[in-house]
């Protein structure tokens, strides 16, 4: 069993991004600029956005954080989006999800200019991705692709089972793994909450990508020998012995699955480490005009 180490890989990519910034500075070019809009006080969102801002600072990107209270009106938020669309110094920006219930997330996403949609959630980017055209790929799927590529995991002709069908992870991963590319060229099955006999599908898989949001859901008896496991899940489970009273686990029962796996991502320290750096990779592309 080998570890797909997201922490080591993320550090390497940050070094590469920092080197790219130094090269831009030496040539007198424009420093990449990422903006983030944070609405409300959701703890997970605050941590995620804070990590994005810190990552920008560490590699030399410019960053802007725009905060608004949870009761901000939809019209005011859409006004902020339009200002960022028109700001020529901003290369890309994100509106952190989830948003308060009184705001239509789809309306906000559609208002973002596709050329600045470094989260890759706009339907234009999703459609371009599905057709294999240059696009901003959502951060988590992009991070998974980078991990498979850099660890030289073979995907062509392999049976890939994606567990989960969200627009953020499951659906884009299914599309990406089927494209004529590397990583890709796989035979893909997307499973979800309505799938009958999930284990029948996962036992056939050469690669399992788990993004269902259920702690320790996939166990060794659901896997075949030599499987590659990419665990996207990050779940809190109570643990009185842990310093904070809980610990983080994935959607895959790591200890049992590791007895079958040839490669496996840990939680924490796996896919999650690559989400922020993937967003920075998209921002660098935006600053260079590599997509639009």
Residue stretches of the annotated binding site for NADP(+): 164-166, 234
Nearest to 119 by CA among 100, 98, 93: 93
Tell me which of 91, 117, 119, 251 is the catalytic residue.
119
Q: In the annotation, is 96 catalytic?
A: yes
Tell me which of 52, 62, 260, 285 is the catalytic residue.
52
Q: In the annotation, is 104 catalytic?
A: no
Calpha distance 261→134 (Å, rounded): 33
Residue 159 DSSP class: E
Calpha distance 165→167 (Å, rounded): 7
Q: In the annotation, is 52 catalytic?
A: yes
- CB neighbours of 155 closer than 8 A, spacing ≥ 6? 148, 177, 182, 183, 184, 185, 186, 207
**Pairing mode, strands 261-264 and 207-210:** unpaired
Is the Cβ–Cβ distance between 111 and 82 less than 8 Å?
yes
Tell me which of 91, 96, 116, 206 is the catalytic residue.
96
| Residues labelled catalytic | 52, 96, 119
């Amino acid at each position: 069993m080998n570890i797909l180490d997201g922490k080591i890989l993320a550090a390497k990519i940050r070094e590469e991004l920092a080197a790219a910034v130094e090269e831009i500075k030496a040539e007198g070019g424009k420093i990449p600029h990422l903006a983030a809009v944070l609405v409300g006080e959701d703890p997970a969102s605050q941590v995620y956005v804070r990590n994005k801002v810190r990552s920008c600072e560490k590699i030399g990107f410019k960053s802007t954080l725009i905060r608004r209270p949870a009761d901000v009106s939809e019209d005011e938020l859409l006004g902020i989006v339009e200002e960022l669309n028109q700001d020529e110094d901003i290369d890309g920006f994100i509106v952190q999800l989830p948003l308060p219930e009184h705001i239509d997330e789809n309306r906000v996403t559609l208002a973002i200019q596709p050329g600045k949609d470094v989260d890759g959630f706009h339907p234009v980017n999703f459609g371009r991705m599905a057709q294999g055209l240059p696009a901003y790929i959502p951060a988590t799927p992009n991070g998974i692709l980078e991990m498979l590529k850099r660890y030289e995991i073979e995907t062509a002709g392999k049976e890939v089972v994606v567990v989960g069908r969200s627009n953020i992870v499951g659906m884009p991963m299914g599309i990406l793994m089927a494209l004529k590319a590397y990583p890709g060229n796989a035979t893909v099955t997307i499973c979800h909450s309505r799938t009958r006999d999930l284990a029948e599908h996962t036992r056939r898989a050469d690669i399992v990508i788990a993004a269902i949001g259920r702690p320790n859901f996939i166990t060794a008896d659901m896997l075949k020998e030599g499987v590659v496991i990419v665990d996207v899940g990050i779940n809190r489970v109570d643990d009185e012995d842990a310093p904070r009273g809980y610990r983080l686990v994935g959607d895959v029962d790591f200890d049992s699955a590791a007895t079958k796996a040839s490669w496996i991502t840990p939680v924490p320290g796996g896919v999650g480490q690559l989400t922020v750096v993937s967003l920075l990779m998209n921002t660098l592309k935006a600053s260079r005009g590599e997509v639009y």
